Structure 1
Amino acid sequence: MKRQSDKYIITKEMDWEELGGGVSRKMLGFDNQIMMVLVKFEEGAVGSPHSHFHTQATYCASGKFEFEIDGVKQEVSAGDGVYIEPNLVHSALCLEAGTLIDTFSPVREDFLDGSGVSYFGKK
């Protein structure tokens, strides 16, 4: 398994990895310590409630989403950010089609081996 990304990631040269349920992604960069992922959501797509030991910071690049973190809901739209502490249950509902930039520390091994896609779907 590759342990770090290329130095330059040119997204227009990449295919979207289809995760199902109206969600797809492109890996923007990673090594053992950090991972950045571009995630595209169709309206109504859901990131079902889940938790992980990684710290997560998310930037809403476009669209509108309803996040729920540790039982607290908040709408976010383009330009907003979300911080998720390790092990907190969180989810997202896409209210208007858009993209998120997710950053994780450490790297999401489950994304690299393909097992970290089971929490996406359509409402």
Structure 2
Amino acid sequence: MELIGTERESTEAIDGVHLAMLASGEAMSVQRFAVEPGASVPPHSHPHEQTGYLVAGTLTFLLDGEERELGPGDSYVLAGGESHGVENRGEDIVRGIDVFSPPRENPDWAE
């Protein structure tokens, strides 16, 4: 078992969107994210299955022309190849955790 400390440097992958890889194994990876007010991730897809959990704030998911608003305590699952984007339309920073399988390389966030 590898123990990893809580202090991980984040990368601003997109303006106002900060990501930090927390742990990565052979079958999955875990990262934390912070999305500043007004920031967004444009619709995109990747081969990784993605699950996540919102810790703080409200995030609007854009899925195939539909919008879904998630808040603290909500979780989600996105299939590999599924197009998705997010927007922080609120006034607070949105914080959460994402898990990817297979693991994402750090940083491959532009894919």
* Root mean square deviation of aligned Cα: 1.7
Determine if contact 2:58/2:69 at 8 Å carries over to the other structure: yes
SS of 2:70's equivalent in the other structure is: strand
Within-5 A mapping of 1:23-42: 23-42=17-36
CA contact (8 A) 1:23 1:41 kept: yes
Unaligned runs of at least 5 residues, structure 1: 1-5, 119-123
User: Aligned match of 1:16 in 10, 22, 25?
Assistant: 10
- The answer (yes or no) to whether the contact 2:50–2:100 under 8 Å persists in 1 is yes
> Tell me, what secondary structure is at the counterpart of 1:18?
strand
C-alpha distance in 2, partners of 1:76/1:9? Answer: 29
> Cα distance, 1:59 vs. partner?
0.5
Q: How many residues align?
A: 109
Residue 72 (1) aligns with residue 79 (2): no
Question: Do 1:64 and 1:75's aligned partners in 2 also have CA atoms closer than 8 Å?
Answer: yes
* TM-score, with structure 1 as normaliser: 0.79
For 1:16 and 1:108, how far apart are their aligned partners in 2?
15
> Could you say if the C-alpha distance between residues 24 and 59 of structure 1 is closer, same or farther in structure 2, counting changes exceeding 3 Å?
same
* Aligned mate of 1:100, from 96, 99, 102: 96
Q: Contact 1:37 / 1:103 at 8 angstroms: preserved in 2? A: yes
- Identify which range, 18-27 or 48-57, moves more after superposition: 18-27
State percent identity of aligned pairs: 30
| Bigger helix fraction | 1
Structure 2: distance between partners of 1:15 and 1:21: 16
1:69–1:84 Cα contact (<8 Å) kept? no
